[in-house]
């Protein structure tokens, strides 16, 4: 299962701060580097906008 950040991203950075692998990168909206992602779900649990979904 892979996770992606949708256009609903607020750009707050909460997900990046919670990612134990450092797989979330800043941009216009944040992006998850699939090669680095541990698929732990910490980002989903902490996104205030609900912008992270399973791919």
Q: Do the beta carbons of residue 13 and residue 46 sit within 8 Å?
A: no
Where do we find the tokens 């699939």?
34
| pLDDT per position as a tens digit, 10-51 | 999 999 999 999 999 998 899 999 999 999 999 999 999 999
Q: Output phi, psi for 41, to 5 deg.
A: 85, 5
> Please, which pLDDT band fits residue 1 given cuts at 50, 70 and 90?
low
Domains along the chain with CATH numbers: 3-54 (3.30.70.20)
Residue length, the chain?
A: 55
pTM of the model: 0.89
Computed from CA positions of residues 36, 22, 51, 1, in that sequence, does the dihedral angle turn out positive or negative? positive
Which pLDDT does position 43 carry in this prediction?
96
């Amino acid at each position: 299962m892979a996770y992606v950040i949708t256009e609903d991203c607020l750009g707050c950075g909460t997900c990046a701060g919670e990612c134990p692998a450092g797989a979330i990168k800043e941009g216009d909206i944040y992006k998850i580097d699939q090669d680095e992602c541990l698929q732990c779900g910490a980002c989903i649990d902490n996104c205030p906008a609900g912008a992270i979904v399973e791919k």
